[in-house]
Homo-oligomer: A and B are copies of this chain.
Amino acid sequence: MKAAIVATGSELISGLVQDSNSKFLAKNLNDLGFQLENIFICGDEKDNIKNTILKAAENSDLVFITGGLGPTKDDQTKEAFAEAMDLELIYSKEIENKLKNIFCNHQSNMTSNNLSQAYFPAGAEIIDNNRGTAPALKVETKNKRFYLLPGVPSELKYLFKKKIELELLNMTKNKILVKEFNFIGIGESTLAAKIEELNFHSALEISYQAGRAEVKLRLKIDDSKISDQKQKNELINKAAAKIKNQFENLIYGEGQEDILDKVHSLLISKKLSIATAESFTGGLIAERLTEKGGSSQYFLGSIVAYQQKIKEDLLNIGSDFFKNHSVVSEECVTKMAENAAEIFNSDLVVATTGAAGPSAHNGKTAGTMYLALNYKGEINCFKFSKNYGRKMNRFYASQIALFEIYKMIKESGENNA
């Protein structure tokens, strides 16, 4: 079934705002099995919106139209749509009441402007918008289905996920099978090459999405190649099991899971405390470990020892140490992790030292990075030589740090997580 998207708004056409709504809808429509043909973006003028809707409807059975549903004179989507589809705009008392209810729930006053929102293309079905004042609409006409959604991304996403997705699933009659795995510590192309070697069935669509220092692998069944639901289930479950088994050490979670969420929950459930001693990451790991509300349950503090002298003075390493060891070395990062655990009296310490780039540091090329994890006295060291540029080098190290914290706690034998 073919679908199209029309995004309206002068802020989109002037290039001031990125149209993220269409990307969201496109991804979700594809996942649901629709064939998205086009995305059309236009400004606020009624005639342009009307013509764009006509172009979009030409080849599609399902059209999403976003933006321009508010109560001000800029908001002309309903009028444009009604003209394009030869529908009357009618005033609906029922909808007025729904609107009044919405305003009442929002505890805000309704102005006469807002009453313009009670005009609807004939035959439209109102979709209550619990997140804003502009109601969304569903209209079936000319053998096509149209959804008119507000342009505010949070409202649009909410309405799509809570009120529309399910009925679209019924529309396609597909039961979409998708599995997603999240990887840290392996690049997209390396992962793709290794997956290639596993010679999966040709009905298995495998795609990759590179995130920030992580990769999402996505398994999906190509419906044109297999139709039997049981076969589909088997195929995807077998493949998922194989991937999980093969890449156990590189997968931290599935789907929408986030490594920071996982570490956060684990530290809280295990009642562990953590501190960091950072050099080239400059406080980034501390910053990430305190990103979520409730982090004071585990995070104690950090010493960012950017200069050698600060390592000597605040991390008690002593200047003699550096006569024999580089600041960019396994010995140094180990010492940092050791001493910080004493200073903070924490269950866990993460320490880092390295050459963030762009230039070499202490004789070590940019991207030479050391990480140490001290878990109740047991210290593990990691060395990487990557160079994605200064900013990404630092972020990469913080990702690995979070992943290694996660693995270390998981493997520590306690089993209540």
Contact = CB atoms under 8 A, between A and B. Distances in A.
A30 B15 contact: yes
B39 A13 contact: yes
Contact of A291 (B23, B310, B391): B391
A73 B54 CA distance: 31
A37 B42 contact: yes
A20 interface: yes
30 contacts: A13-B26, A13-B39, A14-B26, A15-B22, A15-B24, A15-B26, A17-B23, A18-B18, A18-B20, A18-B23, A19-B39, A37-B42, A37-B48, A38-B42, A38-B48, A40-B41, A281-B287, A282-B287, A282-B289, A282-B295, A282-B299, A283-B287, A284-B287, A286-B304, A292-B390, A299-B307, A300-B309, A301-B314, A302-B303, A302-B306
Given A13-B37, A301-B303, 5 more contacts: A12-B39, A38-B48, A282-B291, A283-B285, A303-B303
Nearest to A357: B293
Contact of A299 (B29, B55, B285, B306): B306
B43 A40 contact: no
Top 4 nearest A-B pairs (CB, nearest first) are: A15-B27, A283-B283, A282-B290, A15-B26
A187 interface: no
Nearest to A207: B16
A25 interface: yes
Contact of A27 (B16, B209, B285): B16
Contact of A306 (B282, B301, B304): B301
Contact of A301 (B12, B207, B304, B356): B304
Contacts of A305: 301
